[in-house]
Amino acid sequence: MKVIRTVSEVQEWSATERSAGNTIGFVPTMGALHQGHAELFAQSVDENSRTVVSIFVNSLQFNSASDLEAYPRQLEQDKVIAEKQNVDVLFVPNHEEMYPNSFSSTISAGPIAAHMEGLHRPGHFDGVATVVVKLLNAVTPDIAYFGLKDFQQLAVIRTVVRDLNLKCHIIGVPTVRNESGLALSSRNSRLSPESLTQAPSVYAVLLEMATQARERETTTTALKAHFTSAMKPFSAAKIEYIEIVDSVTLHPVNTAKAGSTICVAVWFEDVRLIDNISI
């Protein structure tokens, strides 16, 4: 596995691979890799001639300096995980490489980013859109892979790629969960033992809600009330939001039915977790 640290070098590598007729798959990450990332890598390796994984903790998408500082960094462990998955290139730029002193251009993620995560994390998706476009322009992949756990992020990226005429196909990969149903996340390592025990309740309740919505037409008001009530016994949990949206446009809907997705954000002590389930 080759490690590349500059935009110019990864662009040169990509151009060489393209001239040889190879297709390139790409998985952008912020590191602290886990089995969920490994599934993305595996799909890319299976569907492309070459696979690139980036590791860059993007300061533009954090709303708090303490959250940025606390984000886990474990590059040597990440290298081992990527290499085991037969990743060809690990692109590891530093902050100055991605955002030099002269950097001043950013991307607005638009209306699709205005609620849910965007409402509670102002500017977050502008930062995501900016870094993803920069990474896509550096790697120039044929396909880029993103996890469905970050449901709104995936929708934002698809919109930005479409609107800016970027020549890259965006693939959403199903959420990977542990045996208790907890969605794998780099933030899980920060959960206390109590929170780690309680956090799987989020997906368990989402499953109940999806079953209810599939069996009979259910109002979003009723589903929100159900989620709030079901989470009350879990002392470490604090609900930030629960929204039911159209799975494509992300517009809020009044009735949960096929083609809609339930999205939630819940704090467990000082760790914020998100999850979703499509109906």
Q: Return the active site residues.
A: 37
Burial annotation 80-98 (CB, 10 A radius, 16+ → b, else e):
ebbeebebbbbbbbeeeeb
Taking the C-alpha atoms of residue 203 and residue 206, their distance in angstroms, rounded to an integer, is 5
Contact between residue 130 and residue 93 where contact means Cβ atoms under 8 Å apart: no
Fill in the DSSP letter of residue 142: S
User: In residues, how long is the chain?
Assistant: 279
Closest CA to 41 of 25, 21, 57, 55: 25
Q: Tokens standing for 121?
A: 């994390």
Contact between residue 75 and residue 154 where contact means Cβ atoms under 8 Å apart: no
Amino acid in the structure at residue 39: E
Tell me the β-bridge partners of 261: 245, 278
Contact between residue 30 and residue 44 where contact means Cβ atoms under 8 Å apart: no
Amino acid in the structure at residue 123: G
The 3-state DSSP composition of the chain as helix, strand, coil percent (nearest 5) reads 45, 20, 35
User: H-type helices in 62-200, by residue range?
Assistant: 65-70, 75-84, 95-98, 117-120, 124-139, 151-163, 193-198
Closest CA to 11 of 97, 87, 85: 97
